[in-house]
Chain A
């Protein structure tokens, strides 16, 4: 497998480092003779000005920045042929190379892919023109798509080589990012080229204004979008903070379980990662851990902090904390996805748990995860009136409860996680005291 990856990367390396550079040199060299005739100088001059203009009026879309250079190059190919495209691409590369600090290999690759794209599109254009029967408007659209496609494939090849990714995935990610805007600019360039052909170079003025306006509109649009996203994030993080602070205050109130919620969240997260849940689900489990005992806020202090055995009535009241927590979260309007987890984290696989007596798969996955981490922490944590159980004994209890109290599969994963940890690390996690500030930071990260 590894050898296969190395081999494909080696081939990519040869193509990108040598193939592209050689292609760039050949294509540029073949264009020089086209630049020499007197009647072409005006065109080269105009396209130099256009390149300078387009280099510094990029169109910004969500996370990438598109320069309109490709559109300028495309119009050059349609109006005059490959030599204008090559000239524009070279001038653009010179500007960028001189202006920024650029990796020479990447710069060479970039000019190579650009020139190859130009060459393919120009050749195709000539071939289509040789029929003389296809309307230029239709062929322009087709060529715009070809330009986009070739450019995308070649760029993807280079990027996948430099960043050691898969070619197809890189291309997919890039295509998702900017296809629509890219094609819009290319088609506008095609229309602009035909207008210039019919009405002369003065058409450039409205075209440039149109380009500038588009870039301005996009800029505003994405700026507002970003601002909105930021606001949503702020509101979200405020809610997180609020509920997490509440959870921390429970820990602070219940002297027996200082730092308990944080540790339950930690173990829950470890299990979720171990069984391969996606990142957003892992996050859910973590927040669920932080909030699972939030209902204890509604339990009287003397019951919560009672030393010694609880009476059955008192125990019934303690059991209420799952339902109280459920209702608090329901009213908070946040974390609705955690509702079942908070309600059901004291359910048992055999149906003898509370509050609803759910059985087996009826218990939500997050609740099953939290049940294990909750029990484990309750067993190993030190209490003011007793020392915590040794880890081995607690794990033995978990093993014994697998199938009756706990989900057997999750239990075996959990035992594996704990046994894998180095002893000091384990002691550090178990001995962790409540630290609301850190808890907040972790919940927000």
Chain B
């Protein structure tokens, strides 16, 4: 996922004259590992997948909070937090709007059957539908995204910029200063 956004971010960073210097050191990477393990478990037991995914979101939020000293992590936190609310209130699965999803070239059968471990069908009874996957995004890889995904993409963009040693500080921008903190 997000491959196109990441590639685009790399291209932007290259145009801005960045290059990889060192990989950032994240704290508590074990939390991220737990998240992945839980998601794999959810894929193996799709019937109780909702529980695993809900817990996985707790760990990923914890991971982001541990690394909140970086601005891109905080933007990620907004996105994952909004998505987490949607998932927690909908039994651990992200409802997806079929009307939009039909435009995608994927097989929607598992989602409709309820065997997809991550997504369910958006219905009248879904909670907080405006936070679920309802926006069709045609470019670059077509997908259906949620409001939270906007922030995740923005966070990914910022993370890549930092990785390429050309960080952009949104906080500085917000305060009306130049965006670059250091070269």
**Which residues from chain A sit less than 8 Å from chain B, CB to CB?**
32, 35-36, 38, 40-42, 44-45, 48-49, 52, 55-60, 65, 67, 94-96, 98-100, 219
Contacts and interface: CB of A to CB of B under 8 A. Distances in A.
A99 B130 contact: no
A58 B174 contact: yes
A55 B154 CA distance: 13
21 contacts: A32-B128, A36-B130, A38-B129, A41-B129, A41-B130, A41-B134, A44-B130, A48-B150, A49-B150, A52-B154, A55-B170, A58-B174, A58-B175, A60-B176, A65-B175, A67-B174, A94-B78, A98-B77, A98-B81, A99-B71, A100-B174
A65 B176 contact: yes
Given A35-B130, A36-B129, A36-B130, A56 B147 contact: no
Contact of B78 (A35, A60, A95): A95
B78 A98 contact: yes
Contacts of A58: 173-176
Contacts of B112: none
Contacts of B134: 38, 41
Contacts of A42: 135
Contact of B74 (A38, A40, A49, A98): A98
B134 to A, nearest CB: 5
Interface string B65-93: 00000010011011001100000000000
Nearest to A215: B176
B2 interface: no
A97 to B, nearest CB: 9
Interface secondary structure of B, over-half rule: helix
Interface residues of B, number: 24
B7 interface: no
A44 B147 contact: yes
A99 B74 contact: yes
Interface secondary structure of A, over-half rule: helix
Contact of B75 (A48, A59, A67, A99): A99
A38 B124 CA distance: 10
A52 B82 CA distance: 15
Given A38-B97, A99-B74, 12 more contacts: A38-B99, A40-B130, A41-B129, A41-B135, A45-B135, A48-B147, A48-B150, A58-B175, A65-B175, A96-B174, A99-B75, A100-B174
A220 to B, nearest CB: 12
Nearest to B73: A98
Nearest to A32: B128
A96 B173 CA distance: 12
Nearest to A91: B147
B14 interface: no
B143 to A, nearest CB: 14
Interface of B: 71, 74-75, 77-78, 81-82, 97, 99, 128-130, 134-135, 147, 150-151, 154, 170-171, 173-176
A100 B147 contact: no
A56 B170 contact: yes
A65 B173 CA distance: 11
Nearest to B145: A45
Given A41-B134, A45-B135, A95-B78, A52 B150 contact: yes
B130 A56 contact: no
A55 B174 CA distance: 6
B96 to A, nearest CB: 13
A59 B176 CA distance: 7
Given A41-B134, A48-B150, A56 B74 contact: no
A36 B97 CA distance: 13
B50 to A, nearest CB: 22
Given A35-B130, A94-B78, A99-B74, A45 B147 contact: yes
B85 to A, nearest CB: 11
- List the 4 shortest-distance A-B pairs measured between CB atoms, nearest first: A60-B176, A56-B173, A65-B176, A35-B130
Contact of B173 (A32, A35, A57, A59): A57
B135 A219 contact: no
Given A36-B129, A44-B130, A45-B147, A99 B154 contact: no
Contacts of B82: 94
A56 B171 CA distance: 8
A371 B174 CA distance: 55
B170 to A, nearest CB: 6
Contacts of B77: 98
Contacts of B154: 52
A48 to B, nearest CB: 5
Contacts of A57: 173
Contact of A99 (B128, B170, B176): B170
A312 to B, nearest CB: 68
A46 to B, nearest CB: 10
A313 B71 CA distance: 79
Contacts of B150: 45, 48-49, 52
A49 B129 CA distance: 18
A99 B175 CA distance: 12
Nearest to A36: B129
Nearest to B170: A56
Nearest to B168: A56
Nearest to A59: B176
A110 to B, nearest CB: 14
A45 B135 CA distance: 8
A55 B151 CA distance: 13
